[in-house]
Chain A
Amino acid sequence: MAMAPINDDNLPEGLRADLHRLTPSLPAGIAHRERDLLAQAHSALNQPRGRRTGWRWLAAGAAVAAMLLVAVTASRSGGNPAATPPAPVAVAPKPTIIDAMIAARRPGVKQPDIDQIAMAAVSIDSPEVH
């Protein structure tokens, strides 16, 4: 690809001085390659297309970073970034008639307490009731 010759006038003063100072001491091939790379970078920075591409890359990078942040937050909170972990609730298992019988065999347990366990075992608390 044919490249336009480097225009030293557009370079900053310090860079142009360094370029002129260093170029003669480099081998001819390396110096030529340095000039080509510098010319390419210089032309890319000065073209509107290059600026637009740069902004696009910047926007894409920001979007990826945002998605990564959301994913990490979601994985730490169990799938819902806004959810707070529910407090553990101790749910007592529903008694069975076996619990009532064991209570009945235990000395000192009164019959109303036994009946209460038995009634809890047979309570209809399911939406299946029709």
Chain B
Amino acid sequence: MFRLLLACFLLFPLWSLAAEAPATQTVRFETVNVYIDSGDHPLAAWQVELKATQGDVKIVGVEGGDHRDLYRDPPYYDPKALTAGRIILASYTTADTAPKGKTLVARVHLRVFGDFRLSITPMAAAGPTGQSIPTTASTANAPTTSTPKDKE
């Protein structure tokens, strides 16, 4: 009987440590590609809002896209948005040949803990002459809700 009690006394710390083992969720870094689809219209200027709608998400970096020489530089963004869960990205080109269709315009780096979800909303887009054009915004590599631009 004494041996049984001694065994329980010795094994209890191990059992409690196993019960308090942390969950499998850890901090990780994700890369999210941001796309603008302007259809048949040349995309000379674009502006989108990207924000986390679920989870612990921090934006830690912004890169440009990879459409030849256009939009390869990082877009404009507010540095205050870094370490936050919301950012406005925007860029333009004065080139005569603006891209059409679905264009990778930016890549955003996130620090994520656990499950998360993003929302992307196009805020403005224009052709080379400055006229507004209809666009849709989307992301890759992350669960995202694409929200159409608010009707004005």
Contacts and interface: CB of A to CB of B under 8 A. Distances in A.
A129 B84 contact: yes
Summarize B's interface: helix, strand, loop or mixed: strand
A124 B45 contact: no
Interface string B104-132: 00000000000000000001111000101
A129 B44 CA distance: 28
Given A96-B123, A129-B81, A130-B86, A122 B47 contact: yes
Contacts, number: 77
Given A98-B132, A119-B76, A124 B94 contact: no
- The bracket for how many chain A residues form the interface is 10 to 19
B35 interface: no
Interface of A: 96-98, 100-102, 104-105, 115, 118-119, 121-124, 126, 128-130
Interface of B: 44-47, 51, 75-78, 80-81, 84-94, 123-126, 130, 132
24 contacts: A96-B90, A96-B123, A97-B45, A97-B126, A98-B45, A98-B47, A98-B130, A100-B45, A101-B44, A101-B45, A102-B130, A105-B130, A118-B92, A121-B76, A122-B47, A122-B78, A124-B78, A124-B81, A124-B86, A124-B87, A124-B88, A128-B51, A129-B86, A130-B84
